[in-house]
Amino acid sequence: MTPKENMLKAIRFESPDYIPMTFKINDSCWNSYPQDFLFEQMERHPLLFPDFHRPTIPYIPKYAAVAKKDVPFKDDWGCIWHTSMDGITGTVTEHALSSWDSFESYKGPDPACCMGIGPVDWTVEAKRIRDLQSQGKLAKAGLRHGHTFLQLCDIRGYENLIFDMADEEPNLTQLIDMIESFNLHIIHRYLDMDVDIITYPEDLGMQTGPMLSPHHFRKFISPSYKRLMKPALDKGTIVHMHSDGDIRLLLDELLVSGVGIINLQDLVNGIDWIRDRLAGRVCLELDIDRQTITSKGSPDQIHSLIKEEVHKLASPKGGLMMIYGLYPGIPLENIVAVMDAMEEYAVYYS
């Protein structure tokens, strides 16, 4: 069974051979850890890095435009980004519409030539997808991170946006429509390429609770989500939704939208809560803790955490994938422990 076949079986609850595991190394790590150490661990863990070929050192990643230290970036919507660390996505420091006074002349970007966060060549992107398909690999693509709610935050500012929702600001509906139209163009582009999975990544949660009320989510954001996901669902394409933070109060509404895979964080939402409310109902892509256990705990605690999550959330039928994002600040021995545990418990039911 190929990795693609295995993942699709996990998503569809069709008894995969193993639990799909993903280990992402953020670009900022290459300036924070010994590169030889990271490369050695990647070579030691072929399940996590099946296509890895060691590059020459020093390895310098190509940083995203929003992740270049001390280099301000103006995105396609007119928002200015800053970051203080190479590889770490920055924050918007200047909002395109901090006042509605200029809304009448405000124009959205052209999705024929950009993704909302930088340029795109759709001919090149179509070739990238075809290459994945010809190699028998999973073709997964979709919207930029922060495509709707966070895009509104970037354009208006978080506080302004929440007041807009509370005040039922008439211009807000027009702005949402503008963003949705842009996003739909991108969705249709990828559907025309016959991708396997369409992704809709957007952080909606804080450390405790969501960033907006369930009422405002249902009124302003969820209807747009449903319209964005409908073309994928109509075609039978798998819908993948990612959100960091505590999103428990929003999850029922999210699942109504047609989400087939939900990527959510483990400890902030609660392993037992996830088991009781979601396991077996939708495919989980569990985002393994980066705040406490893997950053401050011991290797034994890391193994115990991942074992507990697999024991409580996995099934021989599938329905569980796991992902870990490495960022600076994790002890070297804990990096090894996460990789070891992910590979060990991937075959828990094999």
Q: Is residue 75 in some structural domain?
A: no
Structure-token pair, residue 260: 């087939």
The range of the structural domain enclosing residue 134 comes to 3-63+99-346
pLDDT at res. 349: 81
Domain for residue 233, yes or no?
A: yes
Residue 256 pLDDT grade (very low, low, confident, very high; cuts 50, 70, 90): confident
Task: Assess whether pLDDT exceeds 90 at residue 350.
Answer: no
In a domain, 84, yes or no: no
Q: What is the mean pLDDT of residues 98-125?
A: 97
Q: How many domains does the chain have?
A: 1
Beta strands 197-201 and 238-242 are: parallel
Instruction: Please indicate, yes or no, if residue 77 is contained in any of the structural domains.
Output: no
Does residue 283 contact residue 318 with C-beta atoms inside 8 Å?
yes
Establish if 213 belongs to a structural domain: yes
Domain contains 89: no
- Mean pLDDT (the chain) is 97
pTM above 0.85, yes or no: yes
Residue 2 confidence (pLDDT): 94
In-domain check, residue 82: no
pLDDT of residue 235: 98
CATH number at residue 181: 3.20.20.210
Can you tell me the mean pLDDT for 147-154?
Answer: 99
Share above pLDDT 90 across residues of the chain, in percent, rounded to a whole number: 98
Q: What is the C-alpha separation between 39 and 52, in angstroms, rounded?
A: 9
Report residue 23's pLDDT band, with 50, 70 and 90 as the boundaries: very high
